[in-house]
Amino acid sequence: MQFTVIIPARFGSTRLPGKPLRDIAGKPMIQRVWEQAGKSAAARVVIATDDDRIEAAARAFGAEVCMTRADHPSGTDRLQEVAAALGLMDSDIVVNVQGDEPLIPPAVINQVASNLAANPAAGVATLCEPIERLEDLHNPNMVKLVTNQRNMALYFSRAPIPWPRDHQQDNAGTGPVPMDQDFCRHIGIYAYRVSELNDFVSWPVAPIENTEKLEQLRFMWQGVAIHVVQAIEPVPGGIDTEADLQAVIDLLK
């Protein structure tokens, strides 16, 4: 099995401007993501950006770079442009590694690609991990999901799912959900068949996608199966704030 890793990297970030080029223990963040991806079994690792500064930095440390349009409505659209520019075939597998995850384990990159290759009924594959803290379950920035017995996604949501029907809340409706059942958070790494990326950019935004602001729901709306299993290694969260950045710097030091 062969696959290509594409790392989208945008300069603009409201909470952490210039995020891909922020220094982490002597290297820009995007370089650390690229190095982790390079430790996977990927045949090719490509940084996708619309910014000349990121392109220059990436080429300086030896990365392959694909310049993209700046007006893509979603990261998946940007991924499709790169797949087309690279001349990838419909059956080829592309793994999207986020450009703000400098600690991503190479093993999970291999895992999500292998899972897609082993499940021809799925057009997309992704990963999850258990939710262990109540505050994470209620955090709308942490996406939850449920799957069927064949490890195909049934739904992704920012709300706590599945909701225990018999759970009794307090009068304010804010009582804690019992944690004696399995809840899972979505890990934002995806493997796609290029044919599904090509279809994605031709489809309108789905109503449920617009409500939840989750791109993967467009695939589900169109009937594309998404394979999901638990990641074989813990996956640290991405860097969104100065505090996140400092935590990674401290860890590496």
pLDDT in tens, 133-172: 888 888 898 999 999 999 999 999 999 999 877 766 544 4
- pLDDT value for 164: 79
pLDDT in tens, 16-71: 888 999 999 999 999 999 999 999 999 999 999 999 999 999 999 999 999 999 88
What backbone phi and psi angles, to 5 degrees, belong to 44?
-155, 140
- Unique residue bearing structure tokens 């959900």: 177
- pLDDT value for 222: 98
pLDDT in tens, 100-129: 999 999 999 999 999 999 999 999 999 999
CB 217 within 8 A of CB 93: no
pLDDT in tens, 167-219: 665 444 455 566 667 899 999 999 999 999 999 999 999 999 999 999 999 99
The tokens describing 234, both together, are 């813990």
Architecture field, domain 3-252: Alpha-Beta Complex (3.90)
Averaged pLDDT for residues 6-14:
85
* 74 — pLDDT class (breaks 50, 70, 90): confident
**Average pLDDT value for the chain:** 91
Diameter of the chain measured on Cα atoms: 59
